[in-house]
């Protein structure tokens, strides 16, 4: 009987057929929609300057540390800026069973972007730690970017760059929406190549003393860098991922001096959503002096972050950590104020969370 | 016999009895209506006054005269006709038309190695007469079969002249092997190509064996059904010469539009705007949108090209002529025919088909007990092929230029150097010539009553030469030629014994059949390809170039068979058939060389039982049940079971040595046929003096041992092995109904319905199982456990993303950011808290895809099954005859199922909305026209999930044929010694109702289009 009814219904539908495509229903035309104003970030409406609800408790900080975190947040954030922090596997290991706590502490510090390098196996295996951490970050309105494309050895190989992007796309396909990376944080810095050795399949070597000049080795390596970022950018954007790049301030300075054809901030920004200016200097003034040319040159709004080094390593001279917590707070206040004078200023980033936490604890 | 005796007695009484008193003379004419010859006199019919012995006989013109009382009732009777009673009612002239007795209408049906009366049929056999076939004026009888037999699906892959349609019977059963039925022409195994070469006028009948019980006598090759074709033979009497011919035109009709020049520019502007993150296409200049100097010039000068009219004819001619002579004496009967068919392609260049076919059938009764004969046929076809250029008219831009200002053909149509399809067609030739001949000789001995022995020996040869050349001006690899010769030879030797066992009680009937046959098939191929040809000639100059490829293939397979069948009936009421075939095939593995295929069928004529015999409106009611097992050896190539070697070049210093290594596929000595077991139940009926007849059947088929390539552990040294692992189930209903709504001397109205419904599902593919032990699907092959065999497996379009789906932010630089609103509830509180996860950019105008499993992520698990086979098909034929006029119409409906229309999604066919080609015009999304049907066009930004746009409901309703005819009166023709002269006009594919955007719902728009046809024809018989 059901079959008969179905058959009759199908026959009736058939005879109701008309030639040509079905007339679809329509949505709202562009001229009739509500559009948020320029500079109004989707998450800005929620910005209060306070730590996100729930994060304070989840962070599990002592009152003293919570007070420090409040100081830092107030010194480094504003309504119109976004701050990011680099998180490496050492931190992931330290918070091995408490990814939620790490996310909460990052939120309490006012960060809204995380540049995460959890180790390649965590990504390829879609580890539970990683999924929980990203999900927790998203819960606080924090975007998470995978630190990838960080080896200058792949400068000449577009396929290898694409492989790295694809590894994130592949991860994102395995997990639910809230557990996905929001993009990729590239770290393709030609100047970090070993001096005197040809870089990653090219015939060029980086030498900060001798190889500048238009058409010189440094110039050509930066051309390679931009080409690779172009490829990565297209792949990222096609797959709903944002791309930011760690940027050495001297590229812009040498372009301004006419010593490079390639390397200007806008050339990078043609393919990247923003640049993280690695202003690794020990003093506020030096950081600003190196960053300002980049802010001046970048034509896109909110496209340049200033990254302070708070990690200690063998070259402590470029880290602010030795100068102490209060110096860092003052530096942040100064740089935030100066940066906001430029439309291109995006915010203040910290390299790394591990270093920042050390400063808080000291 | 009883009727004969009655007639004889009546006649004797009539002759010996004087006419009664009060004579009132009644005269008139007794005639019959013959479908072939119109009204004919009934000679020697008895006219008797009911209740008396007064009678008369009709003369040579069917006239009679008789003295009767005024209130008499006349009784007309004649052998072979239904008796007729007519009250005189004071009339002086009474003309009557007699109907053939129903037993005469009970025609013979061929069942393979014999025939039975239709009323005695036990298995599921669909029989199609030539008259039904010829209503549709097609090149092949296969096309004519569409909608004529329940359970039979005919599909056209292409409308190109000379295309051979695909026939499937009761759907598919195999997932990897072909589902092609077995063709048997006059007892010999043939191919679909040989069937396609036949002239429809040569065909006496086509029987389709549908259930396993009827198919089992053909064993290992029969599981996809058997099509038995019986050709016409000579008949005793004066030779009849018949000519049937028609000529007509084909034309194109489409239910979609292409972008014209202005619309194409608008499309290009929209694409540019989208790729440039702009909102309005009005802000894009035509120069930027086109980026092509030639096209820009054409746009400025409004010099648009209508590629369709350049490449296609308004009307293409085609014609068919069939001439036959049939006749003979009591000893020698002959049938000879010749047919010619010529079809111009609707495509202007490189398209056309020509066919010449002939047939001679001879039966010679050399002795009373010996008949010898021969069936021979010949066919030749010539076909120009267009190498798929037909769809270029869809995809070439209307701004492209085919000719320069001086009218010279251009190689490239635009500055981007898109090739001119006309140029390419002019510089490429592709042609096939095929010849086909068959000689089937037989001798039949009948040494005593009821026994016959028949020896059949058959040889068939089909040769195809395919030549192709691209001259030096051909763009992208010219000055090349190739030639390929394929020959297939079939040899058959059959010994057939038939014995009808005599019983004293004639209610018992038993016929025993035994068959032994040897069947051999040889195929060989020779191919030569060269390049750098020094001359721009055709493929016959292939030897002048430098050889790039040569090859030779040669293979044989043999089949040895034994078959036994017993057909028993009691009182024409109870029927039982059992049969067994044993096949030994060279294709089978060493451990499975022989296969047994048994079957049994029974039928019960309920109408002959006491409890129904008084139901006077019921003429026939028969219940049939059957069960059988058959095989399909199509999936095994000739030497697969032996293990194939692989050519391998070795380098030893400067010397290259060609060697052979074991292939990557491990041989399987157990490899055997795919096996189908089918149970069938059917009910045949005839009501109201057989005015309504029909049959309803239900069947279930379980197919096992399906051939599947199984992956092997590489450590074995082999990567795969063909094995009998898969399993499918099929079930369905076939219904056919016929009704003579009006049946009178001058007006006849009849109609018939053919209903086909089947469904199938994959039960098992290979030996792979999941953690719960359930068989695993193979989505990559679109083989899904539990789903039908013929499917598409893809995502489902849920619409188009609208601005309403996003929070929109102005970036301040003329661009906008789109934040998708949450639609996924991850914490189960009923409030969406996450956006749908997709691995691509989502923006207003992008394709929205259904999250079918509701997990918040679009991934492989969200693909769905699109069933390709229709839910049911319906053929409806109606014919009306009034005096000499006749009208027939033939409707066909296919309901349910999906097609994936390449014109709606494939770049190659202009469906990707990227502006790289022209294409089918759709109402695409723009910021000002936010439709929900098609996405915003884009080129750099690739549109994701394009294929979801292609799925369309494949349902359609089509008036396939409408025919009007007129037969000149027999009386007028008699003076010219013409037996029959009929003229007619036929239109095909006149009306089509469908949502499938194409030239035809049966042939997709990327294929050579199917045409509408109008023909005028004549049937003439001397």
Residue B749, pLDDT above cutoff 80: yes
Angle between helices B293-300 and B261-275 (to 10 degrees): 130
Residue contact A34–B857, C-beta within 8 A: no
Q: Partners of B364 in the beta sheet?
A: B332, B372
Mean pLDDT value across residues A117-146: 89
Residue B650, pLDDT above cutoff 80: no
Report the alpha-carbon distance of residue A156 to residue A200 in Å, rounded: 6
Q: How far is A36 from chain B (nearest CA, A)?
A: 5
Weakest-pLDDT range from A113-122, B127-136, B969-978: B127-136
Residue A45, pLDDT above cutoff 60: no
Strand locations in B165-295 (E): 166-169, 182-185, 188-190, 203-209, 226-231, 237-251
- Residue A15 with chain B: CB contacts under 8 Å: 957, 993
A126 touches B at CB < 8 Å: no
- Tell whether ipTM is more than 0.85: no
Name the pLDDT band for B652 (thresholds 50, 70, 90): confident
List pLDDT tens digits, range B465-483: 999 999 999 998 889 999 9
- Residue B108 tokens read as 């013979």
In Å, the largest CA–CA distance within chain B is 121
pLDDT at B36: 52
DSSP string, A298-342: --STT-EEEEEE----S-GGG-SGGG-HHHHHHHHHHHHHHHTTS
- Residue B234 tokens read as 């000579």
Report the alpha-carbon distance of residue B131 to residue B129 in Å, rounded: 5
Using alpha carbons only, what angle is made at residue B921 by residues B920 and B923, rounded to the nearest 5 degrees? 135
B893 touches A at CB < 8 Å: yes
Weakest-pLDDT range from A316-320, B10-14, B341-345, B855-859: B10-14
What is the phi/psi pair of residue B146, to 5°? Answer: -60, 125
**B-contacting residues in A 242-281 (Cβ below 8 Å):** none
Report the alpha-carbon distance of residue A96 to residue A129 in Å, rounded: 7
Contact B66, B54 (CB under 8 A): yes
Residue A36, pLDDT above cutoff 80: no
Greatest mean pLDDT among A41-45, B236-240, B330-334 lies in B330-334
A2 touches B at CB < 8 Å: no
Name the pLDDT band for A46 (thresholds 50, 70, 90): low
Residue contact A17–B956, C-beta within 8 A: yes
pLDDT at B205: 87
List pLDDT tens digits, range B668-697: 888 888 999 999 999 999 999 889 999 999
- Residue B1006 tokens read as 């990327």
Length of chain A: 362
Residue B661, pLDDT above cutoff 60: yes
pLDDT at B79: 65
Residue B524, pLDDT above cutoff 80: yes
- Residue A271 tokens read as 């393919």
B945 three-class SS? coil
Report the alpha-carbon distance of residue B647 to residue B656 in Å, rounded: 13
Residue B11, pLDDT above cutoff 50: no
Report the alpha-carbon distance of residue B406 to residue B400 in Å, rounded: 16
A21 touches B at CB < 8 Å: yes
Positive/negative CA dihedral, B273, B276, B279, B283: negative
Cα B319 from chain centre = 21
Which H or E element spans position A173?
Answer: helix A158-174
A24 vs B810, B932, B955: nearest CB = B932
A5 touches B at CB < 8 Å: no
Residue contact A17–B857, C-beta within 8 A: no
Q: How far is B294 from chain A (nearest CA, A)?
A: 30
> DSSP class of residue B862?
G
B163 three-class SS? coil
The set of residues, in sequence order, having a beta carbon less than 8 Å from that of B14 and lying 6+ positions away, is B46, B48, B53, B54, B55, B56, B57
Residue B9, pLDDT above cutoff 70: no
Q: Which residue has the higher pLDDT, B290 or B9?
A: B290
pLDDT at B14: 40
Residue B33, pLDDT above cutoff 90: no
Mean pLDDT value across residues A277-293: 92
Mean pLDDT value across residues B500-511: 91
pLDDT at B686: 92
- Residue B341 tokens read as 């068919």
pLDDT at B105: 45
pLDDT at B438: 94
Q: Is beta strand B370-384 parallel, antiparallel or unpaired with respect to B352-367?
A: antiparallel
Q: Is the peptide bond before B762 cis (omega within 30 degrees of 0)?
A: no
pLDDT at A6: 53
Number of H helices, E strands in chain B: 14, 50
Report the alpha-carbon distance of residue B425 to residue B469 in Å, rounded: 11
Give the mutation candidate from A126, A167, A234, A240 for the B interface (greatest B CB count, under 10 A).
Answer: A240
Residue contact A300–B932, C-beta within 8 A: no
Report the alpha-carbon distance of residue B405 to residue A168 in Å, rounded: 55
- Residue B942 with chain A: CB contacts under 8 Å: 238
Residue contact B994–A17, C-beta within 8 A: yes
Q: Reduce the secondary structure of B422-467 to three states and give it as a string.
A: HHHHHCEEEEEEEEEEEEEEEEEECCCCCEEEEEEEEEEEEEEEEE
Cα B489 from chain centre = 25
pLDDT at B103: 46
Positive/negative CA dihedral, A255, A261, A267, A268: negative
DSSP string, B511-536: EEEEEEEEEEEEEEEEEEEEE--SS-
List pLDDT tens digits, range B884-907: 899 999 999 999 999 999 999 998
Contact A305, A274 (CB under 8 A): yes
Residue B856, pLDDT above cutoff 80: yes
- Residue A11 with chain B: CB contacts under 8 Å: 893, 895
Q: Partners of B379 in the beta sheet?
A: B357, B436
C-alpha R_g of chain B = 34
Residue contact B279–A30, C-beta within 8 A: yes
Weakest-pLDDT range from A29-33, A357-361, B539-543, B644-648: B644-648
Residue B640, pLDDT above cutoff 80: yes
Cα-based distances in Å from A361 to A77, A116, A357 = 21, 22, 6
Q: How far is A241 from chain B (nearest CA, A)?
A: 8
**A-contacting residues in B 831-870 (Cβ below 8 Å):** 834-842, 844, 855-857, 859
Upper half-sphere CA count for residue A196 (Cβ side, 13 Å): 0
B767 three-class SS? coil
Residue contact B811–A301, C-beta within 8 A: yes
pLDDT at B173: 86
A176 touches B at CB < 8 Å: yes
Name the pLDDT band for B23 (thresholds 50, 70, 90): low
Contact B125, B208 (CB under 8 A): yes
Angle between helices A99-108 and A353-361 (to 10 degrees): 70
Greatest mean pLDDT among A157-161, A270-274, B49-53 lies in A270-274
* Percentage of chain B lying above the pLDDT 90 cut: 53
The burial of B646, by beta-carbon neighbours within 10 Å (0-12 exposed, 13-18 middle, 19 or more buried), is given as: exposed
* Percentage of chain B lying above the pLDDT 70 cut: 96
Here the contacts of A135-138 (C-beta below 8 Å, separation 24 or greater) are: A135/A176, A135/A178, A135/A179, A136/A99, A136/A100, A136/A102, A136/A103, A136/A104, A137/A103, A137/A106, A137/A107, A138/A178
List pLDDT tens digits, range B270-287: 999 998 888 999 989 999
Name the pLDDT band for B22 (thresholds 50, 70, 90): low
- Residue A24 with chain B: CB contacts under 8 Å: 799-800, 923, 931-933
Weakest-pLDDT range from A322-326, A335-339, B967-971: B967-971
List pLDDT tens digits, range B608-638: 898 988 888 898 999 999 999 999 888 888 8
Q: Which residue has the higher pLDDT, B840 or B527?
A: B527
Report the alpha-carbon distance of residue A175 to residue A181 in Å, rounded: 10
Cβ neighbour number for residue B200 with a 10 Å cutoff: 22
B916 three-class SS? coil
- Residue B731 tokens read as 């079930």
A234 three-class SS? helix
> DSSP class of residue B105?
H
Q: How far is A356 from chain B (nearest CA, A)?
A: 31
List pLDDT tens digits, range A300-335: 999 999 999 998 865 557 889 888 999 999 999 999
A21 vs B840, B923, B927: nearest CB = B923
Nearest CA in chain A to B926: A29
Global pTM exceeds 0.90:
no
B258 touches A at CB < 8 Å: no
Report the alpha-carbon distance of residue B291 to residue B454 in Å, rounded: 76
Contact B269, B286 (CB under 8 A): yes
């Amino acid at each position: 009987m059901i079959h008969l009814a179905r058959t009759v219904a199908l026959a009736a539908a058939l005879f109701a057929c008309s030639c040509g495509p079905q007339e679809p229903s329509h949505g709202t035309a562009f001229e009739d929609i509500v559009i948020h104003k320029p500079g109004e970030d989707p998450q800005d409406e929620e910005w209060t300057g306070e730590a996100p609800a729930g994060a304070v408790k989840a962070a599990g900080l002592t009152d003293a540390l919570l007070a420090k975190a409040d100081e830092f947040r107030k010194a480094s954030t504003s309504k119109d800026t976004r701050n990011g922090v680099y998180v490496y596997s050492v931190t992931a290991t330290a918070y091995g069973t408490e990814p939620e706590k790490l996310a909460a502490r990052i939120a309490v510090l006012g960060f809204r972007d995380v540049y995460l390098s959890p180790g390649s196996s965590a990504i390829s295996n879609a580890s539970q730690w990683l999924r929980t951490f990203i999900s927790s970050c998203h819960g606080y309105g924090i975007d998470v970017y995978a630190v990838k494309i960080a080896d200058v050895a792949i400068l000449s190989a577009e396929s290898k760059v694409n492989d790295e992007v694809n590894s994130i796309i592949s991860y994102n396909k395995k997990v639910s929406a809230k557990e996905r990376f929001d993009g990729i944080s590239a770290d393709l810095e030609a100047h970090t190549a070993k001096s005197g050795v040809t870089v990653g399949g090219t015939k060029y070597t980086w030498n900060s003393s001798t190889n500048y000049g238009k058409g010189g080795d440094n110039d050509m390596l930066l051309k390679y860098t931009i080409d690779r970022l172009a490829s990565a950018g297209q792949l990222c954007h096609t797959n709903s991922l944002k791309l930011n790049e760690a940027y050495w301030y001297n590229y812009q300075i040498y372009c301004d001096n006419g010593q490079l054809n390639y390397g200007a901030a806008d050339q990078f920004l043609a393919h990247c959503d923003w640049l993280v200016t690695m202003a690794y200097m020990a003093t506020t003034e030096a950081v600003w002096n190196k960053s300002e040319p980049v802010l001046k040159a970048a034509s896109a709004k909110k496209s340049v972050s200033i990254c302070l080094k708070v990690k200690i390593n063998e070259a402590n001279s470029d880290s602010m950590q030795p100068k102490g917590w209060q110096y860092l707070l003052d530096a942040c206040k100064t740089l935030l104020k100066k940066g906001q004078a430029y439309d291109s200023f995006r915010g203040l980033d910290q390299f790394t969370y591990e270093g920042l936490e050390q400063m808080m604890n000291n | 016999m009883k009727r004969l005796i009655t007639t004889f007695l009546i006649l004797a009484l009539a002759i010996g009895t004087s006419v009664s008193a009060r004579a009132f003379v009644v005269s008139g004419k007794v005639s019959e209506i013959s479908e072939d010859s119109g009204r004919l006199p009934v000679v020697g019919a008895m006219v008797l006054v009911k209740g008396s012995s007064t009678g008369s006989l009709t003369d040579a013109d069917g006239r009679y005269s008789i003295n009767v009382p005024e209130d008499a009732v006349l009784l007309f009777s004649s052998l072979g006709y239904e008796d007729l009673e007519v009250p005189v009612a004071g009339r002086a002239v009474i003309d009557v038309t007699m109907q053939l007795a129903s037993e005469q209408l009970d025609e013979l049906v061929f069942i393979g190695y014999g025939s039975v009366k239709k009323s005695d049929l036990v298995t599921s056999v669909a029989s199609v007469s030539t008259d039904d076939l010829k209503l549709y004026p097609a090149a092949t009888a296969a096309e004519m079969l569409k909608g004529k037999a329940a359970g039979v699906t005919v599909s056209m892959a292409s409308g190109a002249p000379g295309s051979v349609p695909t026939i499937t019977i009761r759907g598919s059963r195999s997932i990897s092997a072909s589902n092609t039925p077995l063709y048997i022409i006059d007892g010999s195994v043939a191919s679909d190509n040989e069937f396609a070469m036949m002239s429809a006028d040569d065909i006496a009948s086509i029987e389709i064996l549908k259930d396993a019980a009827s198919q089992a006598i053909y064993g290992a090759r029969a599981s996809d059904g058997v099509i038995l074709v019986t050709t016409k033979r000579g008949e005793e009497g004066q030779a009849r010469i018949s000519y049937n011919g028609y000529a007509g035109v084909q034309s194109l009709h489409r239910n979609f539009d292409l972008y014209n020049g202005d619309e194409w520019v608008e499309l290009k502007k929209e694409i540019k705007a989208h790729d440039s993150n702009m909102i309005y296409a009005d802000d894009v200049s035509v120069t930027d949108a086109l980026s092509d100097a030639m096209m820009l010039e054409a746009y400025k000068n409004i010099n648009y090209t209508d590629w369709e009219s350049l490449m296609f004819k308004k009307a293409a001619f085609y014609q068919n002529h069939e001439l036959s002579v049939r006749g003979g004496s009591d000893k020698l009967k002959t049938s000879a025919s010749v047919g010619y068919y010529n079809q111009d392609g609707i495509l202007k260049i490189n398209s056309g088909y020509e066919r010449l076919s002939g047939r001679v059938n001879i039966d010679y009764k050399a002795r009373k007990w010996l008949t010898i004969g021969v069936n021979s046929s010949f066919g030749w076809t010539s076909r120009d092929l267009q190498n798929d250029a037909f769809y270029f008219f869809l995809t070439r831009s209307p701004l492209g230029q085919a000719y320069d200002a001086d009218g010279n053909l251009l190689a490239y149509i635009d500055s981007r150097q898109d090739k001119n399809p006309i140029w390419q067609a002019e510089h490429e030739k592709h042609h096939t010539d095929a010849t086909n001949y068959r000689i089937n000789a037989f001798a039949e001995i009948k040494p005593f009553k009821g026994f016959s022995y028949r020896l059949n020996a058959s040889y068939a040869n089909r040769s195809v030469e395919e030549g192709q050349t691209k001259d030096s001006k051909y763009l992208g690899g010219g000055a090349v030629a190739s030639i390929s010769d394929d020959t297939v030879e079939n040899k058959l030797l059959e010994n057939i014994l038939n014995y009808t066992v005599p019983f004293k009680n004639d209610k018992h009937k038993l016929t025993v059949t035994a068959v032994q046959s040897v069947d051999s098939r040889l195929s060989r191929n020779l191919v030569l390809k060269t390049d750098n040809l020094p001359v721009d000639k055709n493929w016959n100059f292939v030897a002048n170039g430098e050889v790039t490829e040569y090859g030779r293939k040669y293979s044989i397979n043999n089949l040895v068979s034994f078959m036994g069948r017993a057909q028993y009936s009691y009182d024409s009421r109870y029927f039982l058939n059992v049969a067994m075939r044993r096949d030994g095939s060279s294709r089978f593995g060493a451990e499975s060389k022989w296969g047994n295929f048994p079957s049994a069928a029974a039928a019960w004529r309920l109408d002959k039982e006491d409890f129904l015999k008084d139901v006077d409106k019921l003429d026939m009611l028969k219940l049939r049940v059957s069960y059988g097992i058959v095989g399909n050896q199509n999936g095994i190539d000739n030497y697969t079971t032996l293990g194939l070697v692989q050519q391998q070049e070795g380098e030893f210093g400067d010397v290259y040595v060609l060697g052979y290594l074991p292939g990557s596929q491990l041989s399987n000595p157990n490899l055997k046929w795919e096996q189908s077991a089918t149970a069938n139940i059917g009910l045949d009926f005839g009501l109201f003096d057989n005015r309504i007849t029909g049959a309803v059947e239900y069947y279930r088929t379980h197919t096992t041992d399906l051939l599947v390539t199984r992956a092997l552990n590489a450590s074995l040294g082999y990567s795969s092995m063909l094995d009998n692992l898969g399993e499918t189930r099929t079930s369905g209903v076939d219904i056919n109904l016929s009704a003579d709504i009006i049946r009178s001397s001058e007006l006849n109205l009849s109609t018939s319905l053919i209903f086909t419904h089947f469904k199938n599902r994959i039960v098992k593919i290979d030996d792979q199982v999941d953690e719960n032990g359930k068989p695993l699907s193979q989505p990559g092959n679109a083989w899904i456990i539990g789903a039908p065999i013929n499917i598409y497996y893809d995502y489902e379009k849920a619409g188009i993303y609208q601005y309403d789906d996003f929070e929109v932010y102005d970036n301040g630089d003329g661009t906008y950011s789109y934040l998708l609103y949450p639609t996924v509830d991850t914490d189960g509180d009923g409030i969406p808290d996450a956006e749908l996860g997709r691995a691509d950019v989502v923006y207003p105008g992008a394709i929205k895809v259904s999250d079918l499993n509701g997990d918040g992520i679009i991934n492989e698990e969200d693909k769905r099954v699109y069933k390709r086979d229709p839910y049911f098909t319906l053929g409806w034929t109606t014919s009306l005859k009034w005096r000499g006029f006749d009208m027939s119409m033939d409707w066909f409906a296919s309901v349910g199922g999906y097609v994936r229309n390449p014109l709606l999604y494939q770049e190659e066919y202009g469906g990707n909305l990227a502006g790289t080609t022209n294409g089918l015009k759709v109402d695409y999304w723009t910021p000002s026209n936010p439709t929900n049907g098609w996405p915003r066009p884009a080129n750099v930004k690739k549109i994701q999930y394009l294929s979801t746009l292609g799925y369309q409901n494949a349902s359609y309703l089509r008036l396939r044929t409408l025919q009007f005819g007129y037969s000149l009166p027999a009386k007028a023709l008699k003076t010219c010694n013409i037996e029959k002269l009929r003229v007619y006009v036929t239109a095909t594919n006149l009306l089509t109702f469908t949502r499938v955007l194409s030239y035809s719902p049966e042939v997709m728009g990327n294929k050579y289009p199917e045409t509408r046809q109008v023909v005028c024809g004549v049937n003439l018989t001397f």
